[in-house]
Structure 1
Amino acid sequence: MGWTTEDMPDQQGRIALVTGANSGLGLETTRALISRGCTVLMACRSARKGEAARSQLLGSGAAGLDLLELDLSDLTSVARCAREVAERYGRLDLLINNAGLMAPPRMLSRQGYELQFAVNHLGHFALTKALLPLMDDRPQARVVTVTSGAQYFGVMAWDDLQGEQRYDRWKAYSQSKLANVMFALELNQRLQASGSAVRSLAAHPGLARTNLQPVSVAATGAWQEALAYRLMDPLFQSAAQGALPQLYAATASEAQGGEHYGPSQLGGLRGAPKQQPVARAAKDQNLRQRLWTVSESLTEHHSAAV
């Protein structure tokens, strides 16, 4: 059977921020956390979609839900969101870096960075750094960064991180997902070295049915991808099942900093959460440090002092 939301420990008195909380994995993560008494800050790009999701959850009897506007493609919005959390709550127990984009045509963020790298990695990097002071003294405080199986195909194009010379939307996606797990591991190492009790973990959902796939197909009109998704449909698990690895990483007492969780069956495509290996490049401390340094230089002018 494996671990399910029924096995989640009590979350009364805890505050979690979930990015991309209005749909897919984020919505299911929010639903599970509030079922255990957690107060969840739903950080969403669209206030309208966020409010619709919040109303749906409140309609099913949930309490402890707040809505925050967060556009991860705009570092000014990231800084504003972090300040709002500090002013409204002054503390944070869980940060789940869940939101993401998958394989759109090449577009740029507000600051001029390639959109997938900006949203999937840089926005979460800046948000995490800004919110960490609020997590410092909280028991069992954790940061969970959601990656994907695409990390195993990812290559950091150090000389062309923004895809200016050559852009392949799937390579850019895989690069951003590799960056997620590199960041999660490097963050945990730095937290431990500084004596912080906050822990950083990574998780991936396997093949989960979310709006990432249809949005990607609609943005590019790629009929081949639409066909591939239809053929693979029997392998897909629900968004609720796909959210289990990140929920396990966020709440299970056995989960430790620096670990990476994904589904346990079919090579990590589906099933109950289990610790999974990370991409080889993510094990290289020199590469992780290089990514950290680059990320700091790309985000430093927009950081939020909380």
Structure 2
Amino acid sequence: MSNIVGKLFGFHFAQANVPQLVGKRFVVTGGTNGIGLSAARTLYSHGAEVVILGSQEGTADAAEEYIKTGDLKRAPKDYQDGFAGIVGDYADNSADGGNQSGEVSSRVVDFKDLKAVSKVGKELAEKYDRLDGFLGIAGLGVNKFTLTADGYDAHLTVNCLSHILLLSYLLPNLEKTSRTHPDADVRIVLMSSELHRNTFGGPSENWGGNKFRDAGEFAKDVGPANLYARSKVGQTLIAKALVQRHLQPPSKILAYSTHPGAVATGQTRQYDEAYGDAVGGAIQAAVRPLMRAPDEGALSVLWAATSAEARTGGYKNGEYFTDPAQEGKPSSEATDQELIDNFFNTGLEVIKKVVGQEGVGHFSA
């Protein structure tokens, strides 16, 4: 790795370690920019078919061009900027070790609109009988509190509820692939963060939360940083709930949550919205030069999604990882059984209020 972070900490896993993925298919939310785009290009360059989901058509078009050509100048500008101003001599390593072009297609969906997410989930389930992996990377960063048109926190809706809803449609396809294809090694990976530890303002009762016992917690403002942190707890809770409820043996699907590190993506642009131009700009100027580039930020999710070690290394299904193969020891909130149950149950209640029972898929084949 040529980035200073890689030099200092010496990851034992890189894009070149991703196995060949010819014949396999992955859905990547947030795959049109940032960490998701880098992960999608790695999967594509190792022969996989990749379906990338993003919220803007122009960004999706640019992402497809970049994945196909490897030309960083054709990538979305936020992605290009992730490789600019980083300390050290840096190049984009997302296609390292890849010698087989796969296929890529994109879908545009507003993750704040659960009705639109439901429609896309149903269409994907009907179109793609085989699914080898689901990478849930789409998300809002540290930003101001906003309610969706349906009256719920945008952070929890985008980062968490949209992924529960998509998986309600796609999990049967993932399970079928795991059972019927001898070469399948099916994984679900959700993007959490070490900032999940900083939930001052909820969901714990110690900080004024109610452990998501009712839908009101999904509409509560807890401040810009806490909104992000709360949603990152949510993603670890989802992974654990999926394992407990839907991925017990004989299921062979792995579900993990991962931390990407501090990464120079478009999410840092949201600091201006969260704290104002002056303060937000100062934060960006201070932190971006020390951040990882997008391809380095993608390593933990790629390891969890593709490496043999993630399956054979003796890790507990539902685990949270920081860097590749580094168990993250999640916070007490992220392992609280009541929170695991409440977040998933109440989250589904919220989803059903918005899209109706008929707008939710089925978690069993």
| In structure 2, distance between residues paired with 1:33 and 1:81 | 22
Q: What is the CA–CA distance in structure 2 between the aligned matches of 1:244 and 1:282, rounded to whole Å?
A: 22
Paired residue for 1:162? 218
Corresponding residue number in structure 1 for 2:119: 80
2:267 to 212, 217, 221: 212
Name whichever of 102-111 and 203-212 sits farther off: 102-111
- 1:188 Cα deviation after fit: 1.6
Q: How many percent identity over aligned positions?
A: 25
Deviation at 1:87, TM superposition (A): 2.7
CA RMSD of aligned residues (A): 2.0
TM-score when scaled to structure 1? 0.90
Residues 75 and 303, structure 1, Cα contact 8 Å, conserved in 2: no
- The CA distance in 2 between the partners of 1:298 and 1:218, in whole Å, is 27
In the TM superposition, what is the alpha-carbon distance from 1:141 to its structure 2 partner? 1.0
- Displacement of 1:131 after TM fit? 0.8
Contact 1:96 1:143 (8 Å CA) reproduced: yes
Q: Which amino acid aligns with 1:146?
A: M
Q: Deviations over 1:50-109 (max 9, x none)?
A: 012102222339540011122211111111111221232222110000011023322222
Residue 190 of structure 1: SS of its match in structure 2? helix
Q: Helix, strand or coil for the counterpart of 1:117?
A: helix
Q: Specify the structure having the higher radius of gyration (Cα).
A: 2
Q: Distance in 1 between matches of 2:325 and 2:284?
A: 23
Q: 1:116-135: CA deviations, max 9, x gaps?
A: 11101111111112210111
Q: Deviations over 1:203-236 (max 9, x none)?
A: 1111111010013324652422332332234431
Partner of 2:243: 188
Q: Secondary structure at the match of 1:43?
A: strand
Report the alpha carbon displacement of residue 44 of structure 1 after superposing the two structures with TM.
Answer: 1.2
TM-score between the two structures when normalised by the length of structure 2 = 0.76
> Where does structure 2 lack aligned partners over 5 or more consecutive residues?
1-9, 72-100, 178-183, 204-208, 312-316
One-letter amino acid of the counterpart of residue 162, structure 2: G
1:277 shift after superposition: 1.4
Identify the match of residue 172 of structure 2 among 101, 110, 133.
133
Number of equivalences = 297
Report the residue type matching 2:304 in the other structure.
Answer: A
Measure, in 1, the Cα distance between the counterparts of 2:282 and 2:150.
35
Q: Name stretches of at least 5 consecutive residues in structure 1 with no aligned partner.
A: 264-271
Amino acid at match of 1:303: V
Question: 1:20 corresponds to which letter in structure 2?
Answer: G
Q: CA deviation at 1:249?
A: 0.5
Q: Which residue number corresponds to residue 268 of structure 1?
A: none
Q: 1:64: which partner in 2?
A: 103
Give 3-state SS (helix, strand or coil) of 2:322's partner.
strand
Question: Which residue does the alignment assign to 1:43?
Answer: 53
Contact 1:191–1:199 (8 Å) recurs in 2: no
The correspondence for 2:21, drawn from 11, 23, 38, is 11
